[in-house]
Structure 1
Amino acid sequence: MAKTAKSLFHTLPHCFLRSQLFKPNCRNLSSHVKYSIEVNNQKDFLRVSLKSRVLNLSFEYLLDNNVHSFDPISSQRMENIVDVNQNVDLIDWRLNDDNKLELFWGDKRTTFFDLSLLEESSKLKQVFWDSSSFNKLIWSRAIDVNGLNGSECEKSMDQFYGLFARYGVVFVKNVEANESATKKLCEKMGIISRTYYGADMWTVAADGKHADTFATNLAIRTHTDNTYFDAPLGVQVFHCLSHDGSGGETLLVDGLNISRLLRQKDQKSYNTLTRVPIRYRYLDPGKAMFKASGPMITEECEGFPSLKQFRYNDYDRDIDQSHLSLEDQRAFFKALRKAAILIQSPENEVTLKLSPGLVVFIDNWRVLHGRNSFTGNRVLCGCYMERHDWRSKAALAQF
């Protein structure tokens, strides 16, 4: 393991103070970000405090992420980790004006670490919502389709992707109420996924053509789609083209908010739902059978409150959960019921009426959707879209 040399303990130029831990005075990392740096010669790491978080960076990590180890054009890592000498002392370091740490090692190497990249990676923050905050955070920010086509197109698209990254739901209004206009909008915003359910766009009516409750007029409890796929499709799009009856209101629930509440109320149940994989199944007799498994809640690598995926569909939960131990069976069904109570709570469930001209884009890895029962003829069109494409565009819109 890398070791810190005693020669570290001297006064560094401008901003470092002599003590057991070196602590610099705060300086600007950028025009709005403050930093501080500490080193501990017993723990062998640098502690970097950014505006949004504090990170402990091992010397091995700093050696592996030398700025000059990356191709300047592709940004791909070019150095083989096998060739990285990790058994080396850190002799000294300094912060340059371009926010790069210059690190001087005992084998006479000098490497550079770009602090600003750590701050950039923390900009996309998810924001939870419930029925009381939905109107202010999301509904009131519906984007006019004309803005996506006019002189403010770039600004409107950045707003679109930013809203999607933060809240997982975006509405676009004043779209022509037909499948062609809906498809045109979707193609402008990203990549339409081709699926088992049909090429590009689909149209849904209560016609019983599929072995699924969506092809009926029954109420559907909130859920995420494609839990029976290894990688559920990322974005769900709905556009109500017509409805000559009553009911059929759309239901939305924020999986991030459910995760937050469950974690607050019952940490043990939350841990169970992040740990225990559950099997899901879809059967269309004589046509298809899909099976997949995964936990209900998957955190991003930095942990809560960053949610990677909320996978939940009580309709498609497989009867075969024989992989679970008796202990896990008991823990899971107890935790599942507690989560379902939160999901179906009026405080957490948003009810709204989709009307012709209003298109909703839903993050299927976060936001649950459902509907109330209805009368009359109700026709929806929509599609699935690639989520990774949108996450890329949302990230680019931040810089």
Structure 2
Amino acid sequence: MRHDVEILDDGKAIALTVSGGQVRRFHAIWLRDNAWDETTRAPGNGQRLITLRDIPVETRVSAAHCTSGQLFLTFAPEDRVIAYDIGWLADHAYDRTGRRAPGWIAPQIETWDASLGARIPQADFSEVVHSRTALAAWLSGIRRYGFGKLTGGAVESGCLFKVASLFGYVRETNYGRHFEVRTEVNPTNLAYTGLGLQAHTDNPYRDPVPTLQILYCLENSAEGGENIVVDGFCAARRLQAEDPRGFALLTRYCANFEYAGSEGVYLHARRPMIELAPDGELVNIRFNNRSTAAITDVPYEDMAEYYAAYRRFCDLIDDPAMEVTFKLSPGESFVVDNTRVLHARKGYAGAGSRWLQGCYADKDGLLSTLAAIELQHGKAM
């Protein structure tokens, strides 16, 4: 297609016609800072070789033309000609009309409820070990839905580390490199009892919070003990649709979370239960009734409404219509996005045994592995 470029405001910006005939404006300083020539970016890793201070304050575009899908700009006062891929510029355009409403989510994310059913992202362990395509498909499902299952693993202590190594590294905490999830006498955490657990995110008292949790089943002959997952983003958006004011209160004010169950350990964090990025993107859910401390950052005049919204958020999370339930068999595991998906467990009886091992990892490793495979294949999986 034909691409046209026009210099604006005496070279301080340009207007570029991209795909579909859309016109996108770019500032000269942004274009110079995002140049990909060999003196600005390191070949291979793409890291910048210059700082913003190396770019003249009076930078402007003195000449511009398009040819063969590329934009050629001459920058003054450097008198430097730099080429840009027009497709890259179109993908990274920031000249957009309208603002997104608070609570928007990234396009790769799909919210869900109990109707998710058989669409649970699931893969066989040996398949994802030997096939990068299968691994990418599974990781893509976790990115989209916030959790995924693996079947066909060995029934051996420590196998959860093999799951973590598929995409990243274990994040060690005061619970150790991993933790055992089975009934204990005088446990330091209610997870180590046979009691049912309300849907929750783990470790909200940490900052930063572990962004992934891995649970690996070694024994599960006890009656009950099914795993439950709930999409916190879906619950938050339901609350927003029902009660915009309540949603705003849970995003505006910090809650307090704390843990002091082990000797020498006292963890505390202040964060909203529903966290938005500055541009309104829904990015994090922190919800754990067991670890919520006294909430003190809400003004008196808002506290009653805050608690009403908190109660409704609880109701939505506990709604059976929000739950996806499954029972892990020995050798099976699941990975959960701890910034989005809440997990729970039904109570189980003393007869039989239930032994899971858990550990934490970080989502940046998972997303990095997925992005690298997608880049290698030249497309999103």
TM over 0.5, shorter chain: yes
Amino acid across the alignment from 2:108: K
Instruction: Indicate yes or no: 2:354 matched with 1:378.
Output: yes
Q: What amino acid does structure 2 have at the position aligned with 1:391?
A: L
The answer to whether the aligner puts 1:170 opposite 2:148 as a matched pair is yes
Q: Is residue 15–residue 23 contact of structure 2 (8 Å, CA) maintained in 1? A: no
Structure 1 pair 355/62, CA: closer, same or farther in 2 (3 Å)?
same
1:67 partner SS: coil
- CA distance change for structure 1 residues 149 and 88 in 2, over 3 Å: closer, same or farther? closer
2:160 to 164, 170, 182: 182
Deviation at 1:149, TM superposition (A): 3.6
Q: Aligned residue for 1:279?
A: 256
For residue 347 of structure 1, give the secondary structure of its aligned residue in structure 2: helix
2:30 is matched with: 61
- Residue 196 of structure 2 corresponds to 219
Cross-structure match for 1:110: 81
Return the match for 1:147 from 127, 133, 137.
127
What is the distance in 1 between the residues matched to 2:89 and 2:291?
Answer: 40
Q: What is the match of residue 397 of structure 1? A: 373
1:260 to 237, 251, 267: 237
Aligned with residue 307 of structure 2, among 314, 329, 333: 333
| Matching residue of 1:130 | 113
Once the 2 structures are TM-superposed, how far is the Cα of residue 158 of structure 1 from its aligned partner? 1.6
Could you tell me whether the CA contact under 8 Å between 2:160 and 2:214 is conserved in 1? Answer: no
How far does residue 56 in structure 1 lie from its aligned partner after superposition?
A: 5.8
- 8 A contact 1:276–1:328 mirrored in 2: no
Whole-angstrom CA distance in 1 between matches of 2:19 and 2:256: 41
Deviations 1:139-194 (A, max 9, x none): xx4111121344xx222222222222222111111112232433333334431222
Listed one character per residue, the Cα deviations across residues 329-367 of structure 1 (whole Å, up to 9, x for unaligned) are: 344323322322221222222122222222111111111
Q: Is the 8 A contact 2:13 2:25 kept in 1?
A: no
Against the structure 1 CA distance between its residues 72 and 269, is the aligned structure 2 distance closer, same or farther, given a 3 Å change threshold?
A: farther
Deviations 1:231-270 (A, max 9, x none): 1112111123223332211110112222332333333333
Q: d(CA) in 2 for partners of 1:147 and 1:47?
A: 46
1:58-97 aligned within 5 A: 58-68=27-37, 69-97=40-68
Query: Is the CA contact 2:18–2:90 (under 8 Å) kept in the aligned structure 1?
Result: no
Is the Cα contact below 8 Å between 2:7 and 2:64 reproduced in 1?
no
Q: Distance in 2 between matches of 1:316 and 1:192?
A: 23
Looking at structure 2, the residues matched to 72 and 283 of structure 1 have their Cα atoms a distance apart, in angstroms, of: 49
Give the length in aligned residue pairs.
356
Checking the alignment, whether the CA contact within 8 Å between 2:18 and 2:86 is kept in structure 1 is: no
- How much does 1:288 deviate? 1.4
The residue that corresponds to 1:233 in the other structure is 210
Alpha-carbon distance between aligned partners in 1 of 2:135 and 2:237, rounded to the nearest angstrom: 29
**Aligned counterpart, 1:316:** 291
Give the Cα separation in 2 of the matches to 1:271 and 1:333: 12
Q: Over aligned residues, Cα RMSD in angstroms?
A: 3.2
CA distance in 2, matches of 1:49, 1:346: 47
- Please, what TM-score do these two structures have when normalized by structure 1? 0.78
Q: Whole-Å Cα distance in 2 between the matches of residues 202 and 185 of structure 1? A: 15
User: Which digits, 9 at most, give the CA deviation of each residue in 1:190-209, with x for residues without a partner?
Assistant: 312221112x3322112145
User: 1:5 matched to which residue of 2?
Assistant: none
Q: Distance in 2 between matches of 1:118 and 1:112?
A: 11
The match for 1:242 is 219
Between 248-257 and 85-94, the greater mean CA deviation after superposition: 85-94
Aligned partners of 2:276, 2:92: CA distance in 1, in Å?
Answer: 16
Task: Return closer, same or farther for 1:328/1:230 CA change in 2, 3 Å cut-off.
Answer: farther
Q: Distance in 2 between matches of 1:101 and 1:220?
A: 58
| SS of equivalent residue, structure 2 residue 275 | strand
- Evaluate the alpha carbon distance shift between residue 322 and residue 201 of structure 1 in structure 2; reply closer, same or farther with a 3 A threshold: closer
Paired position in structure 1 for 2:172: 194
Unaligned runs of 5+ in 2: 94-105, 376-381
User: Any gaps of 5 or more consecutive residues in structure 1?
Assistant: 1-12, 17-21, 23-37
- Distance in 1 (CA, whole Å) between partners of 2:304 and 2:194 is 34
Separation in 1, partners of 2:24, 2:307: 37
TM-superposed deviation, 1:109: 4.2
State the match for 1:27 in structure 2.
Answer: none
Q: Deviations over 1:103-153 (max 9, x none)?
A: 3445444344445446778997122221102422x2xx4111121344xx2
Given that 2:17 and 2:24 are in contact with CA atoms closer than 8 Å, whether structure 1 keeps it comes out as yes
TM norm structure 2: 0.81
| Structure-2 change in CA distance of 1:56 and 1:170 (3 Å) | farther
1:101 aligns to what?
71
Percent sequence identity over matched residues?
26
8 Å CA contact retained: 1:192, 1:383: yes
Task: For 2:367 and 2:114, locate their aligned partners in 1 and report how far apart those are by CA, in whole Å.
Answer: 25
**2-structure distance, mates of 1:311, 1:121:** 31
